[in-house]
Amino acid sequence: MSRLYATAEQCERWYMAECCRCGRRRHKAASWPDGYVCRTCSDRAVRIRGVCPGCGADRALPGRRPSDSAAICTTCAGFTQSFACARCGFEDTLRAGRLCARCTLADRLAELLDDGTGRIRPELVPLADCLLAMDNPRSGLTWVTIHKDQDGSAGDLLRRLGRGQIDLTHEAFHALQPWRAAAHLRELLMACGVLPTLDKQICSFERWLVGHLAGIENPELTPLVRRFATWEVLPRLRASAEKNPITPAGRRYAGDQVKHATAFLRWLDEHDLTLATCRQGDIDAWHVEHNEHARQAVRAFLLWCTASKLTRRFRLPAATTSRAAPLPQHQRLALLGHVLTGRDLPLQPRVAAAIVLLYAQPLSRIVRLTVEDVIHDGDQVFLRLGEPPSPVPGPVADLLLDWIANRTNMNTATNHASRWLFPGRRAGQPMNPDALAALVNDLGIPTIAGRAAAIRQHVLEMPAPVVADALGYHQVTTARLATQAGGTWSHYAPGDHTRSPMWRSFPSTSGAGGSVG
């Protein structure tokens, strides 16, 4: 931009002034009834909305009432300038053509998603609607404008989608680069129903697999790794996703199985062996050379090879599992007290930690809870983890309801109506359980040990089948824990076991029952 002044002094005189809102010496953005304003203050003032105390109209309130500096509308303040959008009349910081952010975004989307006939590709209309409905169209505008014409920018991907150069299938999205921009777009397409909903972790696994297969140095190994991933690992992930969403840990483990299968084939190759020529002695040698994690991760591959008759039959060492030692009961109650009384601690991890410590829920399941799973029945609050829903003791209920009223991550695109108890930053997604675990650990709560302690206490106090139903656990797991904890089901007489004595020993801060309206 060229400026029409001769000297620095002229520039200072013509273009600079003290801003009447922030007091800094800045470029004059506008002259308002109360003085010159800078760009920052002008943009901020136009975004203040509410009922004008002067005339009662609900609109933008960039003006200042001289008597008390209350925010008032442009009419009451006597502005000569209007902020009304030339198309829809909404008052906003206006862009080219005197349009508001939403109308600008609408134009930009219409141009990007044009299928070549001058209108949005019909399949993509729900995507445009969904983006235009977001609370803050400015963030949508930034998203479609950033790195404007670069390959792989949001704008570029949208334009290729509009012209049909990218198929509206998950397969097409697996191969798209850069994957982060493509993954966000794919989540939006799933959130608005253009693409069928797929498990997010399976998407991530499939995308990773494309890169992994391409990176195998010896091309002779690739077909076998692909076969194993496609016919063994993926079907198992898909079957598991039908019951429960895949956790990031489950996704990582699937990747490890493929990586270790590849490494195993490489090891054979280095030892001048093939699957067909490999003998029990070689399998044993491999196990001696590798650690427990590698042995566990390669197990599925070796079993699959045997079942598919790619190798002869092998004896594999028995799988072992290690578990975190549970916390002693008194320590668990002390941690619960810390979570409930720590009012200066962030609310979100406090709520998650309380659910872990009370109900022995893994964070991967906690992030799948919705606000509908928190049930009010008179004065009592229940949490639906299984059937029947579990009663929530008073202080925890207060914490839970406080959180529901103040959830974070509610302002991003398509998330404003999120029903997740812990909404994530990405469209339509709950929070990442690893991210939540990190926050809970920051409070000093060990999630795995805390969980083991809670479930062990439950199975000591209630029959294992009742715990299994109420907390959504598999009965075999609870029965095993009952045995480990020194109790068996037969120790319990039939009758009402739904009230655990744990509620009585609970460190109450506001008495029994909740203050639920």
Q: Report, in Å, the least distance between residue 95 CB and Zn ion.
A: 10
| CB nearer Zn ion, residue 100 or residue 189 | 100
Q: Report, in Å, the least distance between residue 16 CB and Zn ion.
A: 12
Cα 88 off chain centre by:
34
| CB nearer Zn ion, residue 133 or residue 216 | 133
Q: Could you give the angle at the alpha carbon of 172 between the alpha carbons of 166 and 176, nearest 5°?
A: 85
The CB-side HSE value for 388 (13 A sphere, CA atoms) comes to: 8
Give the span between the Cα atoms of 295 and 512, in whole angstroms. Answer: 50
Give the span between the Cα atoms of 356 and 336, in whole angstroms. Answer: 10
Q: Report, in Å, the least distance between residue 149 CB and Zn ion.
A: 25
| CB nearer Zn ion, residue 44 or residue 259 | 44
| CB nearer Zn ion, residue 19 or residue 427 | 19
Q: First vs last Cα of the chain: how many Å apart? A: 59
Give the span between the Cα atoms of 308 and 437, in whole angstroms. Answer: 39
Token reading at 48: 């203040």
| CB nearer Zn ion, residue 105 or residue 203 | 105
Burial class (CB in 10 A: 0-12, 13-18, 19+), 391: buried
Amino acid at 255: G
Q: Report, in Å, the least distance between residue 134 CB and Zn ion.
A: 14
Note whether 112 and 162 are within 8 A (CB).
yes
The CB-side HSE value for 315 (13 A sphere, CA atoms) comes to: 5
| CB nearer Zn ion, residue 102 or residue 207 | 102
Q: How many helices and strands (H and E) does the chain possess? A: 23, 11
| CB nearer Zn ion, residue 27 or residue 419 | 27
| CB nearer Zn ion, residue 22 or residue 375 | 22
Q: Where are the beta strands (DSSP E) in 20-133?
A: 25-27, 30-32, 35-37, 49-51, 58-60, 63-64, 71-72
Q: Report, in Å, the least distance between residue 96 CB and Zn ion.
A: 12
Give the span between the Cα atoms of 476 and 468, in whole angstroms. Answer: 9
Q: Report, in Å, the least distance between residue 256 CB and Zn ion.
A: 51
Note whether 357 and 351 are within 8 A (CB).
no
Q: Report, in Å, the least distance between residue 136 CB and Zn ion.
A: 14
| CB nearer Zn ion, residue 22 or residue 334 | 22
| CB nearer Zn ion, residue 105 or residue 181 | 105
Q: Could you give the angle at the alpha carbon of 432 between the alpha carbons of 429 and 438, nearest 5°?
A: 155
Give the span between the Cα atoms of 434 and 366, in whole angstroms. Answer: 12
Q: Report, in Å, the least distance between residue 55 CB and Zn ion.
A: 3
Q: Report, in Å, the least distance between residue 119 CB and Zn ion.
A: 20
Give the span between the Cα atoms of 429 and 419, in whole angstroms. Answer: 10
Give the span between the Cα atoms of 470 and 359, in whole angstroms. Answer: 9
Q: Report, in Å, the least distance between residue 91 CB and Zn ion.
A: 9
Give the span between the Cα atoms of 4 and 332, in whole angstroms. Answer: 72
Site residues, Zn ion (CB under 5 A): 19, 21-22, 38, 41, 52, 54-55, 73, 76, 85, 87-88, 90, 100, 103
